[in-house]
Structure 1
Amino acid sequence: MKTTQPLLTTNISQLKLHNRGKVRDIYEVNNDLLIVTTDRISAFDVVLPNGIPYKGQVLTGLSEYWFHYTADVTENHLITTDIDSIDNTFVRHHKDILQGRSMLVKKVNVIPVECIIRGYLAGSGWKEYQKFQSICGIKLPAGLKESDKLPEPIFTPSTKAHTGHDENIPVSEVINLIGKTLTDELKEKSLKIYSKASEYAKSRGIIICDTKFEWGITNNNKTMLIDEVLTPDSSRFWPLEFYTPGKPQPSYDKQFIRDYLESIHWDKNPPAPALPPDIIQKTSEKYLNAYKTLTGKSLI
């Protein structure tokens, strides 16, 4: 690894910019897309001014790992993470920036539903359970504690509202949006991936509390897993050795940043406050630890 300086943005002027999201810069390459994961981090839907060193490499490396691991459950959009193998001079020219944090992927039509699978009672699910004994309208047994394992994983889809915040929606609304056949397929595949990944992660000492999957559909109607998958940005990862139901859990994900921002009483409106160096360093260590624990390899 050449540098620990976080990469906050990319500007490859020779390539057409397809989209610049909170964390990813996406370029068009031939008929495919190049997803470049920067070290930007967002919390409460606001991008923070500081980057987290190695975050882009962790998200890319973990996504690649899980895409391969779950390939028997579903097809995905990953073509390669090897910059040298991409048939584009401009991409290879920027190898020093792109290698390790980029995925060349198939271009598909994005399905406008986020498939959230919850295996444990945490976050907004715990808040809702306390009021209604349910999550997204799904009734749960009485007497569950915060961080308890659910009787079985549940499918709680959400969609993007116009404000950019995610909104939980009932399955009936998903069916209205995309039809029953596709809804059933996404639910079944999302639950299968979660089940397979959770079992593996637990054997490595990590509980996947919950996670979010995104899906696309090709022009010939083939469903594909897209975006990132089972990363600390799209999931809650808890260390198994410290798991104690009845309270919030320590985590490997960006909940650490959210907790810090809550502690300083930021109003969650832009601009976001700068992060202290120790918070940046600890967050970077959490991401790197998650990668090492799950894959058995060190990034640095």
Structure 2
Amino acid sequence: MGLMDRQEIEALVKDYGSRVNEGRTIKELINDGEIPELKGCQIYEGKVSNCVYGDTLKTNDGIPIRLMYRSNRVSTHDQHRGTIPFKDQVLALNHHLMLELVKGILGSSQFKIPDLTPTSTVIAAENLSPIQFENVLRLYMAESSTSTSLYQHWLSGEREFCGHKLPNNLSPNGKLPYLMDTPSTKAKNDESVSPQYLFDKGICTEQEYMEIRNNSILVFGIILEHDRKKGMIPVDTKLEHGRNHKGEIVVMDEVFTLDSTRRWKLDLESGSFELDEQGRPKSYSKEFVRGMKFDSKTGLLSPKQELEVAVRYIETIQHISGKRFEPDLRPRDERIVESTNLILKHLGLKK
């Protein structure tokens, strides 16, 4: 079957959106005894995903395991904005496709689990020792309201950013002179910093940074060529890295997904970017959510807006994959339990 058109996607979201959002969280499932192997493990509840790890969660070889559970939550400006139907499955498939393209260079902490589908919202990986900075790469100076953005620094008159000299003739949403590495701290309030800051604070060595930087630039080029053929351009992205039990530096968490990577759509006839109602490049990423009007009291998206975001996410994954989106229509907790049991069985931890 061919790709779903917008009308089909809207019908899918309208008919099944509530259903796929239903179900208990992983914390509730563990507390209810649904997955006894995870009893006593630590649960980290993040803005858009939850992680489970602990002393008892190890492979037979003693490698520590981290289980990551994607949610349908969406956040902007460090604030929860709502729940987007199918978002967890879209990002899971997005991450799977991109990781297959880049893991030969960036490595991977994930365990290969037979029978686990690419849309499974549970990821099994080694619990890495994280390197405490976000590796941000920028090809364009995208307009952005976030405090760590190059655009906000340039707008305020600064002409040096993360160690890079900024020319005066840059333009909003214009291409940068070259692909810039612009690291950001991982803290309550993130801050864009120079690589030298990372060395001075003991976050990583110069040699480690150069390995991360050079490999990331290589894979950005791979994704650029992949996306260009699909009619899109990666504008900027965020990667995170950690050290595995062998001391190797590998990528962790998601790679080049809609939540971590801004993409703009190309007009294939003109070769220029498609524009939205405000005359800005049409964004196929979480970025367009930041431009929405939230409820003045709750700060949340309206139900109508949540469905609109879901449609955009599904449209984008079809562009990226070139294939029809085939979601699992069961409630979340059914999918979570099945995927977790597959993982535990394969890793020899199922009781």
TM range, smaller chain: 0.7 to 0.9
2:134 paired residue number: 114
Contact 2:265 2:274 (C-alpha < 8 Å) held by counterparts: no
Q: 1:63 aligns with which of 95, 101, 112?
A: 95
Alignment of 1:150-229 (within 5 A): 150-161=176-187, 164-176=188-200, 177-229=203-255
Tell me the distance in 1 between the aligned counterparts of 2:158 and 2:266.
Answer: 28
Deviations 1:68-101 (A, max 9, x none): 110221211122365x56xxxxxxxxx9xx9621
Q: How far, CA to CA, are the matches of 1:286 and 1:73 in structure 2?
A: 30
Deviation at 1:61, TM superposition (A): 1.0
1:109 and 1:217 in contact (8 A); partners too = yes
Which residue of the partner structure matches residue 9 of structure 1? 25
TM-superposed deviation, 1:107: 1.7
1:142 partner letter: N
Q: Which has the higher strand share?
A: 1
Q: Secondary structure at the match of 1:147?
A: coil
Q: Work out whether residues 284 and 316 of structure 2, in 8 Å CA contact, stay in contact via their aligned partners in 1.
A: yes
Q: How many pairs were matched up? A: 279
Q: Which residue of 2 aligns with 1:33?
A: 66
Partner of residue 243, structure 1: 273
Q: Is the 1:67–1:78 Cα contact (8 Å) retained in structure 2?
A: no
Distance in 2, Cα, partners of 1:236 & 1:99: 21
Deviation at 1:205, TM superposition (A): 1.0
RMSD of aligned residue pairs (Cα, Å): 2.6
Cα distance in 1 between the residues matched to 2:242 and 2:109: 8
Question: What is the aligned counterpart of 1:22 among 37, 44, 47?
Answer: 47
SS across alignment from 2:289: helix
Q: In the superposition, relative to structure 1, how do residues 230 and 78 fare at CA in structure 2: closer, same or farther (>3 Å)?
A: same
CA shift, 1:117, in A, is 0.1
User: In 1, distance between residues paired with 2:105 and 2:287?
Assistant: 29
Opposite residue 59 of structure 1, the aligned amino acid is: L
Whose relative contact order is higher, 1 or 2, with alpha carbons under 8 Å and at least 6 apart?
A: 2
How far the C-alpha of 1:250 sits from its partner, in A, is 1.7
Amino acid corresponding to residue 277 of structure 1 in structure 2 = P
The equivalent of 1:53 in structure 2 is 85
Number of the residue aligned with 2:256: 230
Distance 2:317 2:119 in 1: 17
Structure with larger Rg: 2
- 1:191-225 CA deviation, whole Å, 9 max, x = no partner? 11112111211111111110000001013211111
- CA distance in 1 between partners of 2:321 and 2:308 (Å): 20
Moved over 4 A (4+): 244-247
Cα 1:102–1:3 shift into 2, 3 Å: farther
Provide the C-alpha distance between the structure 1 equivalents of 2:316 and 2:224, rounded to a whole number of angstroms. 14
Letter in 2 for 1:249: P
Query: Which residue in 2 is equivalent to 1:90?
Result: none
- Contact map agreement 2:90 2:119 (CA 8 A) in 1: no
Q: Which runs of structure 2 are paired with 1:125-140 in the superposition (5 Å)?
A: 125-130=150-155, 131-140=157-166
Task: Classify 1:226/1:250 alpha carbon distance in 2 versus 1 (closer, same or farther; 3 Å).
Answer: same
**Aligned twin of 1:89:** none
Using structure 2 for the length normalisation, give the TM-score.
0.73
Give secondary structure in 2 for the equivalent of 1:229. coil
Distance 2:44 2:324 in 1: 30
Q: Supply the distance in 1 between the matched residues of 2:237 and 2:191 (Cα, whole angstroms).
A: 15
Conserved in 1, the CA contact under 8 Å of 2:242 and 2:252? yes
**What code does the residue aligned with 2:288 have?**
F
Deviating more after overlay: 124-133 vs 149-158: 124-133
Deviations 1:241-260 (A, max 9, x none): 26179963221112222111
Aligned to 1:79: 111
Distance in 2, matches of 1:201 and 1:234, equals 15
1:88 corresponds in structure 2 to none
Query: For the residues of structure 2 that align with 1:55 and 1:172, how far apart are their CA atoms?
Result: 37
Distance in structure 2 (CA, Å) of the matches to 1:298 and 1:111:
37
